[in-house]
């Protein structure tokens, strides 16, 4: 991962318009989104962008998940679609159960066109999330 985090063009779920609005407010990388830790900062940005605060929180969740090395920008959106919005939530998951949920989601959204993560990958994501929480 680059030192500043992922460029916003790498994070899923942000439109060109979203990225342009964020850039106009000095937010170009995932680390910039992670700096919005307080609810007040998230609400302030949402008001400036004229966006629902839930949307800003979604972008921040994607940024948080993307900073786990093996999740990165490739899998953060898939995790968010399964209802996992933070490393804390990921750390509590059972690898086999999450793997099964991810496969069901991937098949329903993309059919067999896109490879789903392996059980080993899912296990690694969970271990990285647990290690992340221990370092905090």
**Separation of CA 88 from chain center:** 12
3-class secondary-structure state, position 93: coil
Is 80 exceeded by the pLDDT of residue 46? yes
Is 70 exceeded by the pLDDT of residue 2? no
How many residues are present in the chain?
136
Q: How confident is the model at residue 110 (pLDDT cuts 50, 70, 90)?
A: low
pTM score, two decimals? 0.89
Q: Is 6 left (phi over 0), alpha (psi -120 to 50) or beta?
A: beta
What lies within 8 Å, CB to CB, of 116 at 6+ separation is 102, 103, 106, 107
Is 80 exceeded by the pLDDT of residue 113? no
Within 1-136, residue ranges assigned H as helices are 16-24, 30-34, 39-49, 53-66, 72-81, 87-91, 95-110, 119-135
Cβ atoms within 10 A of the Cβ of 82, count?
16
Q: Locate the domains of the chain by residue range.
A: 1-67, 71-136
């Amino acid at each position: 991962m680059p030192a500043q985090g992922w460029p916003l063009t790498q994070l899923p779920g942000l439109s060109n318009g979203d990225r342009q609005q964020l850039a106009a407010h000095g937010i170009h990388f995932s680390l910039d989104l992670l700096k919005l830790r307080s609810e007040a900062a998230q609400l302030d940005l949402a008001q400036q962008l004229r966006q629902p605060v839930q949307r800003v929180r979604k972008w921040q969740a994607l940024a948080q998940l993307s900073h786990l090395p093996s999740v990165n920008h490739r899998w953060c959106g898939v995790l968010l679609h399964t209802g996992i919005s933070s490393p804390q939530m990921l750390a509590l998951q059972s690898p086999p159960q999450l793997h099964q949920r991810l496969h069901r989601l991937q098949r329903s959204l993309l059919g067999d066109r896109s490879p789903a993560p392996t059980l080993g990958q899912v296990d690694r994501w969970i271990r990285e999330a647990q290690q992340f929480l221990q370092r905090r």
